[in-house]
Amino acid sequence: MPPSDPVDTPKIIPVAERFYVRQAVDNIAWIDLGNYAVVVDALEQPELEDEIFSAMRSTLGDKSIRYLLNTHTHYDHVALNHAFQTRYQTEIVNQETCSIPEDGRWFEGSDRRLLMLPLPGCHTAEDCVVWAPEDRVLFTGDIFGWGLIPLTRNLNAETAELLVNTYRRMIAFEAATVVPGHGPLCTNAELKRWVEYFHWLREQLSQACATGMSDGEIRSAVAPPEDMASWWRFLQWKHDDSVAKVLKAVRKGWL
Ligand SMILES: [Zn+2]
């Protein structure tokens, strides 16, 4: 029997006091800042509206939901935006609805603060992360994807450098809890491990191409690292996908 997928059953995880993440294929969080609450990301399936609102009521009571922050506006992060606007008059905050300053926008409640910080270009031009300093929680949106190269454009020397620099900035937060846009929560260690993996892939594939191996030979020679075997959906397809992207960039001379 294959090992069960950790997100088969959505789970509401209290990452701190009055700070919840519903961990599933698509993640959503609700955080009590004291005098109001904030939601981060808004899922893919609008039919989850009732379930999410009732989970929020049972954890935060009838606290007003003043802001909904979208890490970016892909369809699988915004499905409940309208429902929040309608039900709570929530203000939707993302790079489409307003312009977020380069050095970030703070949301200051009476009990805790959140920083929404643009780190654009790794996944979309509007990528933002959300940092909760009191609880050391970092929302990465889709910049971290459990082994995925998050780019939606080509991998080349420039985008590779952007990726590594962006990871350096995320790692510098020294988050205790990292909340990716999708799948299980993790820690700063996984962000660091991904950067090592990325460097390792580039090295392995450049060397292999230089020896004249075929793509098929290379794909079977570059096996997924053992310590990453438990990464979410990594062995199923993410490692192969990353190998294919780096291989293509090396073959084209883009890296
Ligand atoms: Zn996305």
Calculate the average pLDDT of the chain.
96
* Ligand 1: centre distance to CA 40 (Å): 14
Give the tens place of pLDDT for each residue, 140-188: 999 999 999 999 999 999 999 999 999 999 999 999 999 999 999 999 9
Per-residue pLDDT at 2: 58
Gap between the Cα atoms of 155 and 153, Å rounded: 7
What mean pLDDT comes out for the span 1-13?
Answer: 82
Confidence (pTM): 0.97
Give the tens place of pLDDT for each residue, 186-233: 999 999 999 999 999 999 999 999 999 999 999 999 999 999 999 999
* Type of residue found at 156: N
* Ligand 1: centre distance to CA 124 (Å): 7
* Ligand 1: centre distance to CA 108 (Å): 27
* Ligand 1: centre distance to CA 120 (Å): 12
Taking the C-alpha atoms of 230, 236, 238 and 243 in order, what is their torsion angle to the nearest 10 degrees?
A: 110
* Ligand 1: centre distance to CA 146 (Å): 13
* Ligand 1: centre distance to CA 213 (Å): 34
* Ligand 1: centre distance to CA 51 (Å): 23
For residue 182, what are its two tokens? 């999708």
**CATH architecture of the domain formed by 11-252:** 4-Layer Sandwich (3.60)
Q: Is the pLDDT of residue 5 over 90?
A: no
β-sheet bridge partners, residue 32: 37
* Ligand 1: centre distance to CA 45 (Å): 14
Gap between the Cα atoms of 124 and 131, Å rounded: 19
* Ligand 1: centre distance to CA 139 (Å): 13
Do 163 and 151 touch, CB atoms closer than 8 A?
yes
Gap between the Cα atoms of 238 and 148, Å rounded: 6
Every domain of the chain and the residues it spans: 11-252
* Ligand 1: centre distance to CA 142 (Å): 5
Per-residue pLDDT at 3: 63
